[in-house]
């Protein structure tokens, strides 16, 4: 259930992790795990198809560098990606607040 639920939001979460600055794939998945308190612990390779897809959609851009004799690709958010993230974030916050209110029994928007 957790895996399926995460699947639908992985794009948004990856964009959010990259909003703080450029990262390579390893660092993206580490940050995802860290920020979620170890809850989002997916097969690490699954982040790369997401990164490639987001880059293909113009929401991310990438650069190659040489680190310890290996090629490393670093991803950064594009302006379009930042716009998409803002929109997703606001939609998510509205949705989460509404679900929370229904589950908690309080009216929404909350007046407390």
Which tokens sit at 41?
């612990």
User: By CB under 8 A, what part of segment 26-55 binds other proteins?
Assistant: 26, 42-46, 48-49, 52-54
Distance (Å, rounded) from C-alpha 76 to C-alpha 20?
Answer: 9
**Shortest distance, position 61 Cβ to other proteins, whole Å:** 14
Distance (Å, rounded) from C-alpha 51 to C-alpha 82?
Answer: 15
With CB under 8 A as the contact rule, the residue among 83, 94, 104, 109 that binds other proteins is 83
Q: Which is nearer to other proteins, 11 or 31 (CB)?
A: 11
- Region of residue 44 (phi > 0: left; psi between -120 and 50: alpha; otherwise: beta): alpha
Q: Does 70 engage in binding with other proteins (CB under 8 A)?
A: yes
Which tokens sit at 39?
């809850």
- Across the chain, the runs of DSSP E, i.e. the strands, are 23-24, 60-67, 70-77
Q: Which is nearer to other proteins, 52 or 76 (CB)?
A: 52
Q: Does 87 engage in binding with other proteins (CB under 8 A)?
A: yes
Residues that bind other proteins (CB under 8 A): 8-12, 15, 24-26, 42-46, 48-49, 52-54, 56-59, 67, 70-73, 83-84, 87-88
């Amino acid at each position: 259930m957790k895996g399926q639920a995460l699947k639908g939001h992985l794009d948004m979460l990856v964009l959010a992790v990259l909003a703080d600055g450029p990262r390579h794939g390893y660092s993206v998945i580490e940050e995802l795990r860290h920020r979620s308190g170890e809850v989002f612990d997916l097969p690490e390779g699954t982040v790369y198809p997401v990164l490639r897809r987001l880059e293909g959609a113009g929401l991310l851009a990438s650069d190659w560098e040489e680190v310890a004799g290996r090629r490393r690709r670093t991803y950064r958010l594009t302006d379009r990606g930042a716009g998409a993230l803002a929109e997703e974030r606001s939609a998510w916050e509205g949705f989460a607040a509404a679900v929370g209110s229904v589950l908690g029994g309080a009216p929404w928007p909350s007046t407390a």
